[in-house]
Structure formats: C-alpha cells, structure tokens
Chains A and B, each alone.
Chain A
Amino acid sequence: MNNITSLIYFIPELILLSVILFLFITQDSPRRNLIVFKKASVSFGILAAIIVNIFRWSDPSHGLFYNSIAIDPFTGLFSLVLLSAMFMLTLSDFVSPGSDPRNESALLHKMLILTASILLIESNNLIMLFLNSGLIGIAGIGLFQTDPISQSKRQHIKSFITYNLLSLSILLFGFSLLYGLSGSLFFQSMSRGMTLISNHPFVSCVLLTLILFGLGFHAGILFYYSSFSKIGLKFNFSISSITLFIPSIAYLGVLIKLVNLILIPDGLSNTVIGNQGLFITILSLIVVTTANFLYNRKRRLKELLVLAVLIHSGFILSGISVLNPESISASIYLTISTVIIFTGLYSAQKTCSQSDKTMRFFRIIFFLGLIGFPGTTGFTARFLLFKSLFQSSIPAWITILLLLNLLPIVFYFTSLILKSVRQNPGNKCTHLTVSQVLIPSIPGILSIGLGIFWEPFYRFINESLVYFKF
C-alpha cells in the first residue's frame, strides 16, 4: 500500500510535523501569549501522537513512500517510548518553577530531533537511515545554539560536529559495504542477499564494526565517550538530555534491527551467529570496562548519569549479540527501564529544588532503579539480560565479567543515596503544585510497578519482535 491512503497509518508522524510547522511559522513572532499556544501545541501534539500510536500498534506492518519508512510493532514500540520520554521531558520543563525562556526557543529543535528519531527507527532502507541520522545531527547542532555559547562550549560543539561527521562517514562506508554485499538498499530484500556472507565471519565482523562505530556515537557506545560525556556535562540539562538521550533510544533500536539483519540472514537460524555474536559481546565488555575505568573517580550526579547511560548502552549491546527473543526482549526492557529512570530523575530534578523532601524521595527511588535494587525495573531488566546471556552459547566467564562491571555503578549510586538520606531534612516545595508531584510520580510508579509485575510488559515487548528472524 504505497499510495496516499497509507498516510492514515502515519498520523503520529503527521501530527508531529504539523507541530513543527506551527513552531516554525511562529518562531519569530514577538507576541508573548503565543508561548502558551506553543507549549500547548507541543504537549497535546505529543500526547495525541502517543494515543494514536497505541491504537496503531496492533495493526499489521505498513510502508510509506515505496516502503522507505515502515511501521511494525517493533518500530511502534520504540516510537511509543520516544514519544513518552519526550512528553515527560518537555512537560517537566513546562511545569518547572522559574522555567528558562530559552526552552521556548529550543522547542522547534527538540521537536525536530524527536521526529527525526522516530523516522530513524521507522526507516526501511539505508538511504532513509542515513538521511535521518544526518537530520538528528543537524537538529542537535541547532539546539546547542539556543544555549548561551561560551568558549569552552564552542569547543564542545566543534567536537560534536566532528564526531557526527566521523560517525556519518563510517556509517556511509558500512552502508556501502552492506549494499555491495546484499545488492539491495531495502531491508527485506537485503536480508536475502546476506545469506551469501554468512560463511565469512571476517567480512561480517568488518561490517558489524563499521555499523557499530557509525551508529555508536549517538547510541552512546564505543569510543566516543569524551564527546558524549562532555556535552552531557557542559550543556544545560534540558538541551543535553534531548540531544543525546532521545536519539540514543532510536539508535539502539536501529542497531537491534540491523544486527539481526546482518547476523541472521533469511533461511538461517541464529545458531550460525557464533563468532560474530561473540565479537559483539567482547566489544560490549570492552565498552563497559573502559567506561568504568574512565569514570572511576567521578562523583557528581551528572557525571554518574553519563556513566550510567554508557554502561547501559554496553549492556544493551551485549544483549543484541545473542540474538534470541529473550536477549533482544531483555535489551529492549533495559532500554525502556533506563528511559523510565532517566526521565524520572530529570523530572524530579526539574520540578523541585535539590534539598526538598519530595525531590529526595523521588531521587532515591530512581537511584535504586539505576543500581538495580530488587523490585525495581532496573533489577528486572538486568536479571532478564543476564539470564538470557547465561542461557546462550556465550562463555559464562564473559557474562560474569560483564555482571561484575555493574559493581562500580552500584557502589557510586549507593553512595549518592546515602548522601541524600544523610542530608538535613529539607523543607517541602514552597509552591508544590499537583503537576509538579504528578510528573515524577509517573516514572516512579512505573519503575516499581514494572519491577514487580513485569510479565505483561515483557510479553508486550516479545510480541513486538514478531517480524524478527530467530
């Protein structure tokens, strides 16, 4: 169904594009009361997109523009996660006391990043994937410009641009090799061509390396730590979160799709992936260990959050390497768990002041999730991931080393919890509104709820892999 009628299946994307158009038209308007309309259009636009996305989830796969972009339950799930994360982040910005006026001017770029991320995960051919990757980079650079630029920040933007270009060029090489080997740009037909290289582990490993390095910058993995972390630390929390965090979710989704495509060509089961899978697992072990070494003396919350994102990306990569339904579901679960915890921490940080009791309570809940305290979504996600790794053919010692790499992060965040508990009892928020409590409560409830009653959600993730080959 590649005609105009297919558009009906892409209503969430159309809503987001309409909001972007509205923000673009009104961006130079001097009228103050337009700000309320802008905020309302963004909030309701994303909310409407979430609702429509939920309804279209059970629909069969649909393509648009000659299948350049396509939706299926997997992309639908990731779109839902992206939209929900963005909804929470923007809402937290809107209700935060003394909200920064720069946030309004950055709305357009933020929406661009969100839409590009959704289109990235929905991309069904290599060209669309590449173009959306470029769009995310450009929108990110635009977003940085909305923050007051100091000399050091200018340096970081330069390095961001350099790494972006570097990752794009590596991606270009990777895609060229992929096209050359498979003879197709479209994912479905590419899969058939990949059967030929299944007996050449070296070629597969080169291809995987190029793709992992190409996507790794935005996904927060591999050896782009310095740029990733400096941007995370130096820029406004709102800007760095949207530039790094939202695209990283989409990139991890793309990575899952591409690795599945490369490692399990048509007609072959995942029993052939041995060496290539092991290669990715070892890579993920190196990534996680390096991140731990680089951050061994960091104690500030922002630094530790960057470490947490890097470590979790490494773990997600290890889950991808096994490529069975359990490990992929566990990787997605871990991604979603990180999203819940991160958005929760962000909203708690934004809506209340540091010494505030409510804020401290929420912070402790989310830190518990980050350290993987039993009964939280963080624990369940890791439990599922390591369970699938132990069940796989990967040597147990690699899994044990991966698991032991969690110890530093557990230790650091436990120290932060202790610090929070030891603080002198603060006052309640002076003007605490319902929305200021409600917004961090949603991820808080999700963090505990999905940590205890995770089966329905896990099944939901499992069902989203209906078009995957295992």
Chain B
Amino acid sequence: MGNHPLSTILILPFIGVITLLFVQNKKKSAIKTISAIVVGLQLWLSLQLFFNFDTTTNYLQFVDHYSWINLFSIDFIIGINGLNLPFVLLSSIVLFLTIFISWNLEHQQKTFYMLLLIFDFGIMGVFIAFDLFLFITFLGILLFSTFFLISLFTSDPQKNPAIHFGIYAIIAFSLILIGTLLISSKSDLLTFNITHLIQNPNPSNSFQIMGYFILLTGFLFITPIIPFHSWYIPTVSNTIAPVNILIMSLFTKIGLFGILKLGFPLFPYATRELTLIIGILALISILYYALCAFSYKSYRTIITYFSSYQIAIAFLGLSSVLSIKSNLIGAAATGLNGAIIQMFSAGLIIPILVLLPKLLHNISMHKTGINDLPDRSRWIISFVIMLILLASFGIPGFLSFISQFLCFLGIFQIVSTRILGIIAFIGIIFIAVTFFKIIRSIVLKNSDVEFDVNHSETSNELLIATVLVGLLILFGLYPKPLLQTINQSVQYLVSIIAVI
C-alpha cells in the first residue's frame, strides 16, 4: 500500500464491490460499514498524497506503470500532478461524506453502495489514468454507474430522467472515443501514453481543429453548459439527495477536467484559436442559470441552477487561455488556477446546499421555526445559515471567493475575454439577489423560497455541513497549499499551449 498509493486507491472500491457481492441484503450495517471503511481508507490515502506531493515540480508523481498491451503500446499508467490531485482529493472527501449522508437510506441499500463504489472506481480512474485506453475504460465505467444511479434512485419514478441522461452519456462517450482514437491513430508515435502524446502533438492544424472540436463536444455533452444542458436539470431534480451530490459535486467536473487533461495539451493550436467558443458558451450559461435561479421559488431548483452557474464560472476561467495569443502567459495561468479551484470549491459547496433544507427542518423540529427560538439561539443559527450561504456565494474569506476572483482576474487581461467578464457580472448580481432572497426567507420565515424536505434521503447533516464549511474557510483563509499544488502543472500546461 505504501509504495503504490494510487493503485491502492483504485483497487479499494473494486475490492469493496466484490466484498459487497457476498454480503446479504438484510445486513445493512455491514454494507454501510464496509463501504465507509473502503472510502475512508481512500480518503486517508488521498490526504497522504496531498501532503506528500512535491509542489516544486510539474512531473507526474506517485506513478504506477505496468505493461499491459505491448502490441499497441497500451500501458496501465496512473499518476498524480497538480491538475488531477485537487479532483482526487475532492472525490475522496465527497464520496466519504456521501456514505454518511446516505446512512439512513431505506431502499436498495446494497445496490446503492455497490454503485457508489463502482462510481468511485470509475471517477478515480478517469482522474488518474495517463493512458488514453485506460482513460476511456474508466470513463465508460463512470458513465455506466452514473446512469444506473440515476435510473434506480429517482425521487419520482414517474419522471425517470435516466433515458435523457443515457442518450447524452452515449453520445459523449462515442465522441470522446472517436477523439481518443483519432489522437492515437494520427500520432507518429502510435501510442496511447498521454504524456508522450502531449510531448509530440500532431502538427496538422486541420487535424487539431477537428480533434479538438470532437473532444470538446464530447466533454461538453456531460457538462451542464448550454446548449448541452438539457439532461442536467431533470436528472438532478428527480434523483435522491445522495445521487444529487454525486452528480453535482463530482460528475459534472469530468467535462472541465477532460478538457484540461486532453483537449488543451493535445491540441495547443486549436486551443489558442477556438477557446473563445468556450468563453461565449460559459457566458450564456452564467446569464441563463443566474436568471433561472432568480426566477424560481423552489430551493431545490435554485441550487440546481446555482451548481450549473458555478461550473459555467469555471469554464469562463478556462477562456483565459486566449491571453496566450497576446503573450500574457501569467493571465492564462491565473485563469486556469481559478477554474480548477472553482471546481474544487463548487464540489464542497454543493453537499452543504443540498443538506440545508434538512438542517433547517432539524432546527425547527422542536420549535415551529427559527423565529420561535429564543433570541440568542435564533441569531446564532441565523448567523450559521448565513455563513453557509455566503460561503456558497463566495464572499471574501471563503475558497469560493478566491476561485471566482482568480477566474475573473485571468479573463480581465485581454479585451475579448474582458467583455465576457463584464457581462458575466450581471449573472453574479442575480445570484447575489437570489441568495439574499434565500437568507431572508429563512430568517423572516416567509415563502419567497420553498424548502421541500425528504426525511429519508439524508442524515448527519450538521456534522457534514460543519466539516465542509470548515474546509471552505480553511482553504479560503489559507489557499497557499492548494494553489502551490496546482500552479506548477498549470504553468506547464500553459507553456505547452503557448508553443507555436
């Protein structure tokens, strides 16, 4: 375990699934305990990776390289760099907390935990794989487990969104498969090793544009960015809270991660030329989601739109790579740093927001509402809830503020993206108003926002929300470790894109 932390991280959920296969359905506590141990060990290993990560280099670290298919130079290569470590850490944290959030799940518990562990296996593999064949294998596993989680754990069986998601997932997978096949087939090296392919990208401009376009479209199909968003809202609105968290906090990060991992470094020419498309799509998404969040009354719908809005902000940060054309390398790096941290912070915020209605319900169980609490308690609780919401919105002192600040800083360096940034502020204003509406609704107990609570879906809300808010404050006040982790790899990525 000590010498191969990444292999262990990957194999743990696999062992968990095999073990759960032999546990009887009725032994619910055993099922939960096994899952918690597996994901807990994974979290511990991820933290070890984070603390032992060498932030002074952009090289791949903790690499496990096993020969697999020599004939086609397909190898089992997994490794960690500054781009994927935050995602691995985020996945470990969220998956571990999801086990406890779903602790009181009543139906199909074994199926849920097995699918959660398969999801875990798939998403970790996607993040750490450095071979295209391996990457696509894990992506398939991830999409499939997500499809089953959505299909089997709907809150309203009459409105099953799985088919909708399934179509998008199949198209996304096909396009990404086509992209990866094109990359490896048209490379002089005839290899699937991502590191080697990045070092020797295909020089043909027309190929770069075609490959980039296919891969980008593939990844956007599994991301709630307009016009590829129509699967997202029905899916998140009609699944149970733990599945919501998995999709909103983790699954939606795959698109941006895939673009950073494959799209940008493998197609530097196309990245420089076409990334404005990402910026424009992100801007449209920010405005649309902010307006939608503002206009709805249902809290659940609001946070669904808000989660999409946060992803759109990260995509806006990606468009800072356009600065490279004006030789503003630093601006591009700032924007990309911001985009990654934005994904990290959004992943931590979503579970808090999903748990908030139940938290409110728990507070008002003994009394009729917050207003009925004694004055002192009322103000303390109001303050805590306000803190949670402001942490989500991104006021100074929280990680979400830093991430959004960096994204906007990155895009404000050149005219084309600056215009996008200025227009995006309209969206921020709408989101701010929406959050104040929520706070007002909670404190004054009016019906501006409707909170619907499903009692059986979540548990341990207070503990989990406290942990997550703590993390957001910790990284918000002291973001250096996170920024240092990411920065070297981002600098390297920018240098690859900048090569003419």
Contact = CB atoms under 8 A, between A and B. Distances in A.
Contacts of B184: 387
B280 interface: no
A42 to B, nearest CB: 36
B147 A414 contact: yes
Interface stretch (A76-84, A190-198, A371-379): A371-379
B170 A411 contact: yes
B166 A411 contact: yes
A406 B69 contact: no
Interface in B124-182: 133, 136-141, 144, 147-148, 151-152, 162-163, 166-167, 170-171, 174, 177-178, 181-182
Interface in A390-432: 390-391, 396, 400, 403-404, 406-407, 410-411, 414-415, 418, 421-422
B185 interface: yes
B140 A455 contact: no
B69 A387 contact: no
B133 A418 contact: no
B327 interface: no
A175 interface: no
Nearest to B173: A410
Contact of B69 (A375, A396, A455): A455
B71 interface: yes
B162 A418 contact: yes
A377 to B, nearest CB: 13
B181 A373 contact: no
A458 B74 CA distance: 13
B186 interface: yes
Interface string B59-73: 000000000111110
A183 to B, nearest CB: 39
Contacts of B133: 383
Contacts of A458: 69, 71
The residue in A379, A390, A406, A454 that gathers the most chain B C-beta atoms within 10 A of its C-beta is A390
Interface residues of A, number: 26
Interface string B65-86: 0001111100000000000000
Given A407-B170, A454-B69, A421 B137 contact: no
Contacts of B177: 383, 386, 403
A459 interface: yes
B166 A387 contact: no
Given A374-B136, A411-B166, A414-B166, A406 B182 contact: no
B139 to A, nearest CB: 8
Interface string B468-495: 0000000000000000000000000000
B207 to A, nearest CB: 9
Nearest to A390: B185
Contacts of A391: 185
Contacts of A379: 137, 140
B144 A373 contact: yes
Interface in A442-464: 454-455, 458-459
A418 B166 CA distance: 11
Nearest to A407: B170
Nearest to B138: A374
A391 B184 CA distance: 9
A56 B242 CA distance: 58
A403 B68 CA distance: 25
B170 A410 contact: yes
Contacts of A421: 111, 148, 151-152
A400 B177 CA distance: 10
Contact of B186 (A390, A400, A406, A459): A390
A396 B210 CA distance: 10
A74 to B, nearest CB: 19
B137 A374 contact: yes
A404 B137 CA distance: 18
A377 B412 CA distance: 50
A404 B218 CA distance: 13
Contacts of B137: 374-375, 379
B71 A407 contact: no
Contacts of A373: 140-141, 144
The residue in B162, B167, B174 that gathers the most chain A C-beta atoms within 10 A of its C-beta is B174
A407 B178 CA distance: 13
Contact of B71 (A411, A414, A459): A459
B141 A375 contact: yes
Contacts of B148: 418, 421
A375 B69 CA distance: 13
Contacts of A400: 178
Interface string A66-82: 00000000000000000
B292 to A, nearest CB: 29
Given A374-B138, A375-B137, A386 B181 contact: yes
A396 B178 CA distance: 10
Nearest to B211: A396
B181 A387 contact: yes
A218 B184 CA distance: 36
A407 B171 contact: yes
B170 A403 contact: no
Given A374-B138, A374-B140, A455 B174 contact: no
Nearest to B139: A374
Contacts of B181: 383, 386-387, 390
Contacts of A375: 137, 140-141
Nearest to A454: B69
A407 B148 CA distance: 18
A407 B174 contact: yes
Given A373-B144, A374-B140, A387-B181, A404 B69 contact: no
Nearest to B68: A455
A455 B138 contact: no
A390 B182 contact: yes
A390 B210 CA distance: 13
Nearest to B135: A374
Contacts of B151: 418, 421-422
A383 B185 CA distance: 12
A458 B170 CA distance: 27
A454 B72 CA distance: 11
The residue in A387, A391, A403 that gathers the most chain B C-beta atoms within 10 A of its C-beta is A387
B170 A396 contact: no
A309 B133 CA distance: 26
A8 B69 CA distance: 37
A407 B133 CA distance: 20
Nearest to A410: B170
Contacts of B162: 418
A458 B181 CA distance: 18
Given A373-B144, A374-B137, A374-B141, A455 B70 contact: yes
Contacts of A418: 148, 151, 162
B71 A455 contact: yes
Nearest to B141: A374
Nearest to A418: B151
The residue in B68, B71, B111, B210 that gathers the most chain A C-beta atoms within 10 A of its C-beta is B71
Interface in A331-385: 373-375, 379, 383
Nearest to A400: B178
A75 B144 CA distance: 38
Interface of B: 68-72, 111, 133, 136-141, 144, 147-148, 151-152, 162-163, 166-167, 170-171, 174, 177-178, 181-182, 184-186, 210
Interface of A: 373-375, 379, 383, 386-387, 390-391, 396, 400, 403-404, 406-407, 410-411, 414-415, 418, 421-422, 454-455, 458-459
18 contacts: A374-B137, A374-B138, A374-B139, A375-B141, A379-B137, A379-B140, A383-B133, A386-B178, A386-B181, A387-B181, A387-B185, A390-B186, A407-B174, A410-B170, A411-B166, A414-B170, A418-B148, A455-B68
The 6 closest A-B pairs by CB, nearest first: A374-B140, A374-B137, A390-B185, A391-B185, A455-B69, A390-B181
Given A373-B144, A375-B140, A400-B178, 14 more contacts: A373-B141, A374-B137, A383-B136, A390-B181, A390-B186, A403-B174, A411-B166, A411-B167, A411-B170, A414-B147, A414-B166, A421-B111, A458-B69, A459-B71
